[in-house]
Amino acid sequence: MTRISLRGRILLFFVALAAGTVVALAAGLWFGYHREGRPDMLNAFVQSAIAAGFLILALVTWVWFLFDTHLARPIDKVASAMRARAHADVAHDIETKDARYLGDLVAAASATAATLAHTRGALAEQVQRETTRLSSDKNKLEHLLADVPPAVLLCTGRHHLVFYNGVAQQFLSGSQRPVCLDRNIFDYLSEGPIRDAHHRLLEGSDPDAVVEFICLSPCGRRRLAGRMRLAGDNGGDQAAYVMTLRDVTKEVEAYARRDALLADVFQQVRPAVSDLRRAADAGQLADKAGGSSIATQLQALDTMLVELGARFEICRSDGWSMAPIDAGDLAGLLRRSLDGHGLTLDVESAEIAVRCNAFDMVSLLTHLISRIHAVTAATHFRCVISDAGEAADVGVSWKGSTITPEALDAWLREPVFEGGVACETILKAHGNVLMIDGSHDTPAISTRLPHVERLRSAEADLSRQVVYDFDLLSRLHYDKISDARLDALTYVVFDTETTGLLPEQGDEIVQIAAVRIVNGKRVKNEIFNLLVNPGRPIPPSSSAIHGVTDAMVADAVGVQEAVRQFHRFAEGAVLVAHNAPFDMEFLTRREKELGLRFVNPILDTVLVSATAFGRAETHTLDALADRLGVSINEKDRHTALGDAIATADVFIKLKDMLAGRGLSRFGDVLTSLRSHQRLVRDLNDRIQVS
């Protein structure tokens, strides 16, 4: 009986009452008929029994309906409201309009909820006062860790991500999978070196030992130098480890160029010198066959040395401290430097980043411009940095007389400032030469900076963030997902916007967005949000709802690529959606042509709401958000990302309510959801949940 809802038990009570009354009536009439003993009275007794039976059933049904409407349903609502306030942190008052026949129960429940909210508020205020300083320190630490040069990662003993900073996200983002908490590190880095370093640490006797290794990103574009040590405060996971990574791709390439240069010196120059020595020892100017003379060999040797010298100049710049800098910022630094000399500079720069030592380059140009000012008396200069394909041209021009090449050569031999390096040393380190050009009235000097890097858009800059959840270190691992506690699972909550409501008639996705819930909390920095070109016009009626127009998706990815990217984002997680069959239909219909399958378990917040609040309640997203105190910005409603975030926040509260009802394991939740399939079809029958 305890598994039957309150309304079901009341219904069974009235059914038993009706059945007992009818049986009692039938027994009484049967007894009266036999006492009378007149056969002609049988029809009268039967008709009386039928009429009385129907009247009794009608009366009992009417009384049951009153009980169900005014007692059972309001009690269920009050119970759900109290659970929401106890487990989902809902603060607003309990509605009483439908519970006027419950006497003082609603008032008592409201007072209890108000007291609970007040106690929570007082406790939260006290905790807030005590943790303000800690929170400030935590934010400072996060900013510091976000900006440290190496990538920093913390992994569990099972090699799942617990912490990563912004540099790590940039290093690992070349993988086909987005960087997310609780993902396996081998999704992003070569497995062998990391496992080997980890085994060496576990088998060693020193808990503070550090192991260094070299690994590759899966795409092979980065060669990373790593340092690994076991984590100290490991939350019970003795095999957890901290790892730092540094990109040594360019260093390795630089050493390879130097090795190749030295190899060529030994392989090409030594034989030529040996031939000349033998010829000189023999006193021969030419071989007996009248072939190549010593002069010809010297010419070939000279040409070879010129080529090797050029390669050496490239290698010389490999060890110089350089970094990408915005061309506009470089010109701005030069302008501020000239301001100190009483000179003015106009700037025109392309939207590119140049790789150089900014301090040395600005010092070099400042020194040369000051010398030009001393010779020509020019006080106003113009700097233009333009894109030249694989390099950037840097030119400085002025009005007035020109300068001689001899004067320029003399200035280049001077140090940029007292105690500084010579100008020509800076030029050679950058692999550059300085030229005099421009017109007669507007002379100029120019050079070229190599290694142009295109500027990234602001939204692509992922450097200033730290993502972590240290509770993952102590989270239990379950062999069967049905045995797992709800907070031990990772969820991807998603929503789609489409051209229409009929996928079987050709409607397609125009936007898909998702957020991740890890360890019971939404990870704010792990977001999937993609506009999709549906390959067909978007009806104006649909655009009026979700705001996505044909112009917005003109250059967006196609439906197949969008589904493929979302499949990678959702890999290994439980999918959550509101009215999931609708959204999943747009995804599963692409499985065959893409050669993939969504094997993720699926939770529908409509069914979860029915389990938490009862089937008779309204289960729209707006109603759930209002009932659970989740705010949805009006401009974000009916956008894929806005609805996904709202669904995630609603699901977290519903999940806590289910735990309050004793449904703490995933298998128990699935069993409960399947009893509400008259509302929405449960999709887990298409996969094997074990």
Residues tagged active-site: 638
As a whole number of angstroms, the distance between CA 674 and CA 482 comes to: 14
- What residues have CB less than 8 Å from 51, skipping those under 6 apart? none
Angle at 363 between CA 358 and CA 365, to 5 degrees: 95
Q: Please, what's the b/e burial string for 159-191 (b: 16 or more CB within 10 A of its CB; e: otherwise)?
A: bbbbbbbbbbbbbbeebebbbbbbbbbebbbbe
Sheet with 509-518, edge to edge strand ranges: 557-558, 521-533, 509-518, 491-498, 574-577, 602-604
Residue 660 in tokens:
């309050």
Relative to beta strand 509-518, strand 521-533 is antiparallel
Residue 564 in tokens:
């493929």
Number of H helices, E strands in the chain: 21, 20
Residue 243 in tokens:
């790892």
Which residue(s) pair with 446 in the sheet? 395, 435
Per-residue DSSP letter, 317:
G
As a whole number of angstroms, the distance between CA 201 and CA 213 comes to: 12
The secondary element (H helix, E strand) that includes residue 143 is: helix 105-147
Match 């806590």 to its residue by tokens: 656
- What residues have CB less than 8 Å from 404, skipping those under 6 apart? none
CB 531 within 8 A of CB 565: no
Torsion of CA 655, 660, 661, 663, to 10 degrees: 50
Q: Which of 647, 663, 645 is nearest to 655 (CA)?
A: 663
The secondary element (H helix, E strand) that includes residue 34 is: helix 6-36
Relative to beta strand 435-438, strand 443-450 is antiparallel
As a whole number of angstroms, the distance between CA 610 and CA 616 comes to: 8
Sheet with 241-247, edge to edge strand ranges: 211-216, 223-230, 241-247, 151-155, 161-165, 466-468
